[in-house]
Amino acid sequence: MASTPSDVDKASNEKELDRVKWEAEKAFRDREVSVQEKAQSTQEAQLDLQRKEQAASRWRSPLVVAILAAAAAAGGNAILAYTNAHLQRAADSQKSEQARILEMIKTDNPDKAAENLQFLLDSGLISEPSTVAKLSTYLKNRKQGSGAALPAAGGAAPPETTNLINQLEGITSATASGAKFADELSLRTKLARAIITYAVVQGGISRARRIAEMTTANLKGSPATGIDEKTWINEYMNVEAQTGSEFVRQVQSRSILKFQDLVRKNDWDLKNYSPDAP
C-alpha cells in the first residue's frame, strides 16, 4: 500500500522533533559537565588553600611560638653568659697583673723596682697588650736612680715618691678650690674659669679672692650681678698686673697674647686652641 503525503510529512516531523530533543539533551549534558568541572576545580582550589593554611598554622601555633621563643632566649642567655665570663676573666687577669706590678715596686730602690718590672715582662707574667706597652715605654724612658717605687713593708716611701704625691695632692686640692671659686663668681666661659683656677693654684685661694673683690669694687659689680664676664675677667687680669703677680707676667707672654687674640676671634671657644698656633 503506497504511503500518502500525510504519512511522509508525519514521519519527517517526528525525525525533526527527535533531532531537536537530542540536541537539547546534549546541550543540557554539556552544561552539566561544565558545572561539575567548575565545582571540582573550586573544590581542588579550596583543598590546596586548606593545605597551605595548615602548613602555615603549624608555625603560628602557640606551642611552636613558645618553643622558638624559648630557643631564642636560651641562645641569648648563652651568648650573654659567654660574654660575661670572657669579660670577667679579662678583668680578673688585669687585676692580678696590677697586683703583681704593685708587689714588684714595693722596694725603696727605684732601680730595683725597674729590674722587677723588667722581670715581669721577660717572664710573660704581664701579658695584657696595653699594660706591656706602657711598662715597656716607662722602662725605656726611665733614668737611672729615678722612677716609681713604693715603701717595703714597714718602710718609708723614697723622697721622690713622697714629694710627687704631695705635689699632686696640693695641685688637685687647689684645682678643686679654683673651680668652686669660679662657680661662686658665676663664671661660665672656659677661659675665665681657667684663669681663676690657675690663679688659685699659683697664689692660693685667699689672694685670688682678694683680687676678685678689688675687681668687683672697680667695676661696681661682678658676673653674678650682671657685669659682662669678659669685661670682669679682663679687669681681674689688670688688677693682677698692678700687684705684680707672676701669673699675669705669664699671661702677658707672647704665647698667651696670641691665645687671647685667638679666643676673642672665636668668641671664647677654646676647643681648637693650640699654644703653637700662629
Most confident of 23-32, 100-109, 269-278: 23-32
Check whether 156 has a pLDDT greater than 70: no
pLDDT tier at 214 (50, 70, 90 boundaries)?
very high
Residue 101 and residue 119 in contact, taking contact as beta carbons nearer than 8 Å = no
Q: What is the DSSP string of 195-245?
A: HHHHHHHHH-HHHHHHHHHHHHHHHT--GGGT--HHHHHHHHHHHHHHTT-
pLDDT value, residue 164: 47
Q: Say which range, 116-130, 188-202, 252-266, has the weakest mean pLDDT.
A: 252-266
Backbone torsion region of residue 96, taken as left when φ is above 0, otherwise alpha when ψ lies between -120 and 50, otherwise beta:
alpha
Q: Which three cell numbers stand for residue 61?
A: 601555633
Beta-bridge partner residues of 237: none
Most confident of 59-73, 147-161, 204-218, 252-266: 204-218
pLDDT value, residue 278: 42
Residue range 174-206, pLDDT digits in tens: 678 888 888 888 888 877 888 888 778 777 888
pLDDT value, residue 162: 52
Alpha carbon distance 9, 177 (integer Å): 136
Check whether 6 has a pLDDT greater than 80: no
pLDDT value, residue 276: 46
Give the domain ranges of the chain: 92-157, 165-265
Q: Which residues contact 265 (CB under 8 A, 6 or more apart)?
A: none
pLDDT value, residue 149: 60
Q: Which residues contact 245 (CB under 8 A, 6 or more apart)?
A: 199, 202, 203, 211
pLDDT value, residue 275: 44
Q: Say which range, 4-13, 191-200, 205-214, has the weakest mean pLDDT.
A: 4-13
Of 5 and 81, which is predicted with more confidence? Answer: 81
pLDDT value, residue 45: 81
The mean predicted confidence, pLDDT, of the chain is: 72
Three-state SS for 162? helix
Q: Say which range, 130-134, 230-234, 255-259, has the weakest mean pLDDT.
A: 255-259
Q: What is the pTM of this model?
A: 0.34
Check whether 217 has a pLDDT greater than 90: yes
Q: What is the DSSP string of 33-68?
A: HHHHHHHHHHHHHHHHHHHHHHHHHHHHSHHHHHHH
Most confident of 11-15, 69-73, 113-117, 146-150: 113-117
| Integer angstrom CA distances of residue 205 from 83, 193, 229, 243, 275 | 50, 14, 20, 16, 26
Mean pLDDT over 40-51 rounds to: 81
pLDDT value, residue 213: 92
Residue 263 and residue 270 in contact, taking contact as beta carbons nearer than 8 Å = yes
Helices 159-184 and 190-203 pack at an angle, to 10 degrees, of 130
